[in-house]
Structures are given as structure tokens and as C-alpha cells.
Structure 1
Amino acid sequence: MPRWFNTAGPCNPANHYMIPASRRLPEVRRLIEQENYFVVHAPRQVGKTTALLSLASELTSEGRHVAVLVSMEVGAAFPKDIGAAEAAMLDSWRSAARAQLPSASTPPAFPDAPPGRRIGTALETWAQAVPTALVIFLDEIDALRDEVLVSVLRQLRDGYRNRPKLFPSSLALVGLRDVRDYKVAAGGGDTLGTASPFNIKVESLTLRNFTRDEVAELYAQHTADTGQPFLPEAVNRAFYWSQGQPWLVNALARQMVEQLVPDPAQPLTAAHADAAKEILLRRQDTHLDSLTERLREPRVRGILEPILAGLVLGDVPSDDLRFVQDLGLVRMAEKGGLEIANPLYREIIPQVLANTAFASLPPQSVTWRRADGRLDMERLMEAFLAFWRQHGQPLLGTAPYHEIAPHLVLMAFLHRVANGGGTLEREYAIGTGRMDLCLRYGPDTLALELKVWRDGEKDPLDDGLAQLDGYLAGLGLTTGWLVIFDRRSGQPPIAERTQATQALTPAGRRVTVLRA
């Protein structure tokens, strides 16, 4: 059977193209040899389960350990019933052990124990029954909450001192978050914080993304199996959009080879990678959908909103910074400062935030397209001004992020244009006070610089013209739009103050200045 690019569940080398999973967790073997308890946390679908299933199999086959990955997720269905949650988890463990281990190493019957002791008793019994040291990876641990979570962590800590003969010699908590960010309604907060019942951990590890060379290595497996080459430009473009995020790397490739170019005689190009990106943006598959569900969480909004608005972060708790990085939404840039984790997320995040505004747009005839199908920039400007005068004020209230509400409404308007056969790309960086937009429609490209005029600030016209100058130069354009949203208090109604004028950038490029 031919292999394929996997985008659902753990990978296995018989069916899926894959990079050796343990390569991205080199520290784990040392921690296991030292009989340590530790945490492995990383965003969804970056390969945690795949890596630890593979490692468990290797450890067991080597003969010095009995290693197994078990899931805690089924216990989440019983958030207030510790006993029921424990029973569900232990039943799941037995199934996982039968699937992963030789019969001599599967657990014996777990003895009866009172609620709140069943996990610890089961691990003690299992550790005594196996012929070698027991290693347990507890996957989806942070699916548990409140009393159930705290009970499990306390049982692990209580048994820790009895390892390796009467308790697992090494154990890992595996999930989205580091242990201090596990959700629990206790102690006046909603996370464990520093007062964790799992204070026996020695390290918290995370999985890195693929490197560019690993993306090439993964794609080369498809070429070896089918003969279909990924040109270097396609690999580079896929790495650009994904920055090596494993699910995105596989999802882009899957769209390219299964939907866009199923003929193995035809090579894959950068244009195919771009087209695959557009498909993912439109589909918003489970991975992207679950990621964007986080956007309205206060801890996430407190960091993403200033990044999207180009503002400084301000006094943001360090735990929140770490939490949003752990979710995989942002990363530290090479030159310092937070940025969106990859260009594809940079596209999808504002698109999702603008969905309500887009859905609220009134019907409007397409007046901005010429008879030959190209964009008429003058008519597009007139259409936007008319739209903004009539609908800008009510639509601002539909945007979930107040600081970038006008940006989101404008993007909703431009998405309507792009959906007729174009694309809309975004650039923004923390602390710059700007957002750049690039509307591509066939051979036509429109570059826009968005600025906000807030109370106590000077007119951003000069800064905007200088910034747009650099943006236009990078795109090889001679004209563009500078859109200035006036958010100062006490201003006339939007319908009265919305206007368009002409200006020149410092380098002499002609710019339309839209004040809205």
C-alpha cells in the first residue's frame, strides 16, 4: 500500500511519510535512564503522541524497560466524579497496553481501591508485575480539570518515592500546557500556577518544529515512493508558510499531491504550495479550527490584540506570555519581540476575527471590476468610501478585538473582493503601530498601509507615508493606499469625516490617503 501525508492522529512508518519522531526529543532518554518524572508539552498536532509511541516501542524492544503511552482523556467526561474518571481511565489503559505491549507486560487485574487511590494503586500493582522497569507516558493529561486532575497529580507524587520497584521508574505528563497552566478552579485562580501537586518534575520539554531540511527530507519520501518531485521552490514555500509546524507541513503536501497535482509525472512548484495554503485557509480544518477557538480567551486576546494592532504589549503576566507560546500561536522572533508563529497563522487569525464582520456585510454589487476582469482601483476606492460611510459605524461593533475593529471591517470588505478571484495577505509586527495589507487580483496588486490615530497622538500621516514607501518598494509598486482610522474621541460621525485625498511618499510614489 502506498504511504501518504498524515493529518489525523499519530503517524506510523508503515502508512505515513514521517521524520523519526525521537529526533525532536533527544533529552527524553537521559531523563528515563535517570528515573525522572517530567513534562512534555507542545501545541496540538506537532507529533507528541507519535514521538512517545515510537519511543515507548523502542524502549520495550530493547528489553531494559516496559514502556507504554496511555491516555487520560476519557476521564475528562467525569469532572466532578473522581471514582468514575479513574475507572474510565484505567479501562482505557488496559486497551492501550494490549495494543502496545507483549502479553507478559500488560497489567494484571487492578485491585479495588477507594476513589482517589485507584490510579496510584494500579500503577503500584503494574510496576511490581512487570519483569523490568515500568515507564509510563500519560497523554492528554491536561484534558482533566479540577478535583480529578488534582487527585491524579497527588497520587503520582505520593507514589514517586517508591519507584522503581513499587511505582513507575520514570513517568511523563504529556499535553498542550506545562503543568503550572493546567486548568483547575482552586486557590482563587483558574490554573495550578506555582503551587503544583506535581512538584516532582525535573524538566519540562517541548517539541521543536521541523527544520527546512527536514521538510525536504519528508517530501523526498513521497518522491522516492511515487517519482513525483517537489521542486526546491515548493519546499521553500511550504516551509515559509508553515515554519516547519508538522501538521501544516503535512497538510500543505497532502493538498498538493492529492488535490492539486495528483499526476505523479508532474512536479510540485511554489505556486502549488501557495494554492494549497489558500485551500487550507478556506477549509479551516480541525487543526486550524481548534487553534482559532482560543482567540477569544482573555489570556490569548491580551497578547494577540496588541500584536495585530502593532502596539506594545504593556504589563502582560509572564505566565500568559508562556501560555500563548505553548499554544503555538506566537513565538519569539530571532531579533527579539513576539510575532505570530508562522505566515499561515498570520493569515488565518485576522480572517477568523473578521468573520462576523464579513457575515454582517450588506449585499453590494461588484462595481470594482472592469470589463476585462481586472481591478478598477478608482472604483474600488469609491466603493469602499461609500461602504464605510454607510456601514462602518455599526460594523465596528461586530469586531471581537476593539483595538483592531476598523482593520477587521476593512479586511472583511477586501475579503469580498478577494473571494472573486484574488488573495489578501497581511503583515504586522509588535510595536510598529501598523498593519500592511496586500490585495492580489490576477495581474493587479494593491498595497495598503493601515494606521490608527488615537487620543494624545500626532497625525500618523507622515509616518504612514514613510512606512508605505518601504512597503511599496519591497513589492515593486509605485502607488498604494494609506488608510488612517481616526479613533480619537469627539470626532464627527464616520459618514462626515470619511474622505480621500492624494499625497506623495518621501520617494515620490503617489498614494491615495483614505481618512475613515
Structure 2
Amino acid sequence: MPRWFNTAGPCRADHHYMLPALRRLPEVLPLIGQESYFVLHAPRQVGKTTALRALAEELTASGRYAALHVSCEEGEAAGDDFAEAQRAILSRIRRSAEIYLPAELHPPPFPPSPDISLLGTALAAWARVCPRPLVLFFDEIDALRGQSLLNVLRQLRSGYSDRPTAFPASVVLCGLRDVRDYKVTTDSRGHLGTSSPFNIKVESLTLRNFTRDEVEELYQQHTHDTGQVFLPEAIDRAFYWTQGQPWLVNALARQMVEKLVPDRGQALTAAHVDAAKEILLRRQDTHLDSLAERLREPRVRRILEPLLAGLALGEVPADDLRFVQDLGLVRLAPAGGLEVANPLYREVIPRVLANTAFASLPPQSITWLRADGRLDTERLMEAFLAFWRQHGQPLLGTAPYHEIAPHLVLMAFLHRVANGGGTLEREYAIGTGRMDLCLRHGPDTLALELKVWRDGEKDPLEDGLVQLDGYLAGLGLDSGWLVIFDRRTGQPPIAERTRAVAATTSTGRRVTVVRA
């Protein structure tokens, strides 16, 4: 059977291109050997379930353990009904054991027990009769909520001292977040905030992304099977966009080999990677959708809004910062400072935030293209000024992040241009006070620097010209736009103050300064 790049569910070596699942978890086997209880947390679609299933199979095959991967997702619907949640988990344990464990390792009939201790009683009974030490991987543990979650954690803690003869020898809780961030209520504030009631954990591990060499190793499996070559430039470009995020690595390859270049005799290039990236951004498949859902959470917004606006973080709770890192949305840059986890997320986050503004755009004739299809930047400027004067003020209210509302509306306008056959790329970083946009349309490139003039600050024109000059130099351009959004109080209406004037940088580059 031919293998393929998997973007849905756990990987199987006989079906999918995949790397050794345990390579990224070297710490796990020693912890299990020490009969430890610990936490493994990582963002969605990085291979947690694949790794845990492979580890459970390996441990059981070794003859030393009875190891089982169990999903707690079925218990989510029970909410605070802890008895029902436990019954759902126990049912999943029995089904999984019947599928993945030899008959002699199956759990016995679960004994009767009070509702509050169904899980602990069942695990204790299983551990007593099982001929090997039990190792259980509770995946999607953070799908449980409220009293159901607390009840499960407390039972695991209570049975910990009875291991290994009368309780599982090792238990691994696996989910999106560390145990302190498990939700115990239905609102956004209800988090444990501490490792108790699972304070028996000895480690909190995470699963790293692929390295550049591992991306090459994965892609080479396709070359080995089909003969289709990924050029080094394609591998470099795929790693640039994804920074090794496993789902993105697979999703880019899948688009390339199945949709863009199905001819196995044609080599895959960096341009194919860029085209695949645009397809993913437009489609916003399940993984990207799940990220989008997070963007409106207050804990996420407190980090991302200043990051996107180029502002300093200010006083934000350390738990919020760790939470957004655990979700895989941001990371600490090697040179210090916070940044979006990879360039593809850097593209998709503002695009998702601008969706409402884009959907709210009024109909507009495409006047910014010449007869030969080339981009006419002067006509584009005229179209933008007219659009902003008429629609800027009401559209600002559609933006979910107030600090970058004008940025999002401008990006929505430019997406209309890009969707006609181009791309829109963004650069932003904590503390820079700026956002850079690069609109590419065929052979034409337009660079824009976005600044905000806030109360108590000086006119950002001078700094903006210097920053734009550097941005243009990096792109090899001799002209661009500097857009200054005046957010000071007491200003005239947008329709009255929006205008464009010519300026020149210190190195002689031509700039159109838009006051909006």
C-alpha cells in the first residue's frame, strides 16, 4: 500500500510517512522505569497521540509492562457528573485493552464501588491481578472539566502510594497544557493554578518540533517510495514556514505532492512550498481553525494583542505567558523576546483576526490593476483613501483586537487585492512599535510600514521613515508606504483627516505617507 503524508489523527508506520515516534521523548523511558507519575503536554497536532501509542506498544512488547494508551475525551460530555465521567473512562479502558493488550493482561470485571471512587477501585483491582506492572497514558485528560477532573486527579494521587502491586506503576497525563492550567470551571478564569491535586508528578515534559534535518528525513521517505525529489531549497523553505511544527510540515508536503505537483517526475521547489502555504492559509484546515478559536480567549489576547501591535507586554500574569507558549502560539526567540511560533502562524493569526472586517467590506470595483494585469500603486492608493474615508470608522468596530483595529481593516482591504492573484506577508515583534506588510502581485511588490500615534506620544513620522527605509532596503525596493493611524483622542473624523503626502527617506527612497 502506498504511504502518504498524514494530517488527520495518529500516524501509522504502514500507512504514513513518519519519524520514529519516541525520538522526541528520550526522558520518558527512564521515568517509567522509576515508576513515576508525570505530565506530557504539547500543542495540538505535534504527534502526542502517535508517540504515546507507539510507546505503549513498545513497553508491552518488551514483556516488562502492561502499557495502555487511553483517551479521556469521551468523559468531556459528563461535565461535573464525575460518576458518568469515570464510567466513560473505564469503558474506554476496557475497549482499548481488548484491542491492544494480550488477553492475559486484560482488566478483570470492575468491582462495585461508590460513585466517588469508581476509577481508583477499578485500577487497583486490575493492578492486583495483572502479571505485569501497569503503565497508563491518559490522553486528552484536559478534556475533563470541573468536579470530574478533580475527582480523577484525586483518585490517582490517592492510589499513588499503593503502586506497583495495587495501583498502576506509572501514570502519564497528556494534554494541551500542564496540569496547573487544567480547567475546573466553565469560564476562562477557572484553572487549577497549581499542580495540586496531582502534586505527585515528578516532571512536566513537552514534545519538541522537528529539526530541519528531520523534515528532510521525512520528505526523503516520499522520494524513496515514489522517486519525486524535494530540492534542498524546498526543504529549507518548508522548515522556514513551519519551524518544524509536525502538522504543518505534513500539510505543506501533502498539498505539494497530491494537489500542486502530482507528477512524480517533477521536482518540488521553494515556489511550490510557498504555493502550498497560501492554500493552507486560505483553507484554514482543522488545525488552523483550532488555533483561531483560541485567539479570542482573554489569556491569549493579553499576549497576542501587544505582540501584534509591536508594544511591550507590560504586566501580564506569568501563567498567561506560559499558557500561550504551551498552546504553541508563541515562543521565546533565541536572542530573547517573544515571537509567534513560526512564520506560517505569523501569517494566519492576523488573517483570522481580519476575517470579520474582510466579510464586512463593501463591494468595490477593482481599479488598481492596469490593462496588462500589473499592479498600479497610484490607483491602489486612490482606492484605499476613498475606502478609508467612507468605511474606515464603522469597520474599526468589527476588529476583535482594539489595539490593532486599523491594522486589521487595512489588511482586510489588501487581502482583496491579494486574492486577485497575490500574497500578503506580515512582520511584527514585541516592542518595535510597528507592523510591516509586503503585498506581492505578480512581479510587483509594495511594502508598507504601519505605525500608530497614541496619546502622549510624539508623531511617529520620523521613526517610521527610518524603519521603512530599512525594510525597503531589505526587500530591494526604492519606494513604499508609511501608514500612520492617529488614535489620539479628540481628533477630527477619519473622513476629514485622511490624506496622503510625499516624503523621502534619508537614503533617498520615495515614500507615500498616509495619515489615517
TM-score, scaled to structure 1 = 0.99
Counterpart AA for 2:360? S
Deviant stretches of 4+, over 4 Å? 186-189
Query: Mapping of 1:92-491 within 5 angstroms?
Result: 92-185=92-185, 189-194=189-194, 196-491=196-491
Q: Deviations over 1:107-157 (max 9, x none)?
A: 111111111201101111111121111100000000001000000000000
1:74·1:89 contact (CA, 8 Å) conserved in 2?
Answer: yes
- Distance in 2 between the 1:288 and 1:107 partners? 39
Moved more, 190-199 or 143-152: 190-199
* Shift in Å, 1:99: 1.7
CA RMSD of aligned residues (A): 1.1
CA–CA separation in structure 2 for the residues paired with 1:195 and 1:248: 31
CA distance, structure 1, for counterparts of residue 336 and residue 377 of structure 2:
38
Query: What is the CA-CA distance between 1:80 and the residue it aligns to?
Result: 2.3
Contiguous gaps of at least 5 residues in structure 1: none
Note closer, same or farther for the CA distance 1:59–1:15 as it changes in structure 2 (3 Å cut): same
| Number of residue pairs matched by the alignment | 516
- Please give the secondary structure, in 2, of the residue aligned with 1:265: coil
Contact 1:228-1:266 at 8 Å conserved across structures: yes
CA distance in 1, matches of 2:373, 2:65: 67
1:84 aligns with 2:84: yes
8 Å Cα contact 1:231/1:269 also seen in 2: yes
SS at match of 1:362: coil
Query: Contact conserved, 1:21 with 1:51, CA < 8 A, in 2?
Result: yes
Q: Identity of paired residues, percent?
A: 76
Question: Hey, what's the Cα distance between the residues in 2 that align with 1:509 and 1:186?
Answer: 54
SS in 1 for 2:29: helix
Distance 1:119 1:254 in 2: 41
CA distance in 2, matches of 1:500, 1:433: 21
Distance 2:186 2:263 in 1: 57
Per-residue deviation, 1:187: 13
Q: Any idea what SS the aligned residue of 2:347 has? A: helix
Q: What code does the residue aligned with 2:127 have?
A: A
The whole-number CA distance in structure 2 between the counterparts of 1:187 and 1:477 is: 49
Q: Does the 8 Å contact 2:69/2:137 carry over to 1?
A: yes
CA shift, 1:97, in A, is 1.2
What amino acid is aligned across from residue 222 of structure 2 in structure 1? H
Q: Read off the aligned partner of 2:369 and give its amino acid letter.
A: R
Matched, 1:30 2:30: yes
CA–CA distance in structure 1, aligned partners of residues 495 and 170 of structure 2: 66
Deviations along 1:48-75, one digit per CA (max 9) or x if unpaired, are 1100110111111111111110011101
Contact 2:339–2:430, Cα closer than 8 Å, also in 1: yes
- Do 2:179 and 2:195's aligned partners in 1 also have CA atoms closer than 8 Å? no
Question: Is 1:498 aligned to residue 494 of structure 2?
Answer: no
Task: Give ranges in structure 2 of 5+ residues lacking alignment.
Answer: none
- Do the aligned partners of 1:388 and 1:495 also contact (CA within 8 Å) in 2? yes
After the TM superposition, which of the residue ranges 100-109 and 354-363 deviates more from structure 2? Answer: 100-109
SS of the residue corresponding to residue 387 of structure 2 reads helix
- How far 1:186 moved relative to its partner? 10
- The code of the aligned residue for 1:22 comes to L
Give 1:185 shift. 2.9
Residues 116, 152 of structure 1: 8 Å contact kept: no
Structure-1 separation of matches of 2:329 and 2:435: 18
The AA in structure 2 aligned to 1:224 is: H
